[in-house]
Amino acid sequence: MDYQDLAALVDYHLSSPLMTEEQVHEGCMRGQAYEVRSVVVRPCDLDLAKEWVVAPLRLASRTSAAPGDSTTAVKQFEVRDMLRRGAVDVEAKVSLPKLMSRQFQYVEIELMQLLKTCEEGGATLTASVDASVLDDERLLILCKMAKRSGVTMLSASEYRADQVEKIIAKCAPFVTLKLMIDGKSLDEVLALKQMGVARFGVRHPAPLLDAWKLHLQALKDAEKPSDAVLS
């Protein structure tokens, strides 16, 4: 194992509405230092962040935080604007009001349209949802819609522990799963990785990745021959 085995799966979210531009800059520098996969900034910060983010760090953004207020046309405009400003990864909120109202065709068509917009701009699309509010039926239907629409990743901003295996089982191998994991221990995150979770979203990368560095160092130290063996 090496550091990138975990760091390359981490998306660093810098999307709090209270963050200053200085804090976003500090976050982008922190993302570079920790060698995470991407920084996810607010759309209003893309023009600045584009100057701070250096490859291989990816620049990402997301549609409006509200889970379903916007129409498809508004989301498409948001996505096009994000792509124009330099985003290469986009997270779009699944319309929870339509999903809860069983307007499944609306949700699926919206995903298809947003995916097409991203593909035309050379960007990836992740469909983000608060899975914790979904019953098993709607969760299964969402997984089916993601597969049919061509979306390759679902992101669960909130979720119940029992839902993780269900999403992976219903989506694999066509759709992968991203989880927000702030507050989880390294052991918990490694267990989720072993289950098949493909990416992890964090708002604070230091606790997880510093623990990962210590874990790797402990493994390295354990492999060193003791003085007794050398003598």
Report yes or no on 228 lying in a domain: no
Domain hosting 155: range is 4-220
Domains held by the chain: number: 1
pLDDT tens figures, 23-46:
999 999 999 999 999 999 999 999
Residue 186 in any domain: the answer is yes
> Which pLDDT value is given to residue 227?
54
**What's the pLDDT tens digit per position in 168-205?**
999 999 999 999 999 999 999 999 999 999 999 999 99
Residue 196, CA atoms < 13 Å, CB-side half-sphere: 17
Let me know: does 27 contact 57? Beta carbons within 8 Å: no
Task: Return mean pLDDT, the chain.
Answer: 94
Please report whether residue 28 resides in a domain: yes
What distance in Å separates the CA atoms of residue 23 and residue 41, rounded to the nearest whole number? 11
pLDDT at position 108 over 60: yes
Here the CATH number for the domain that contains residue 124 is 3.20.20.70
Which of 50-54, 61-65, 123-127 comes out lowest in average pLDDT?
Answer: 61-65
- Rounded Cα–Cα distance for residues 178 and 122 (Å): 21
Q: How confident is the model at residue 67 (pLDDT cuts 50, 70, 90)?
A: low
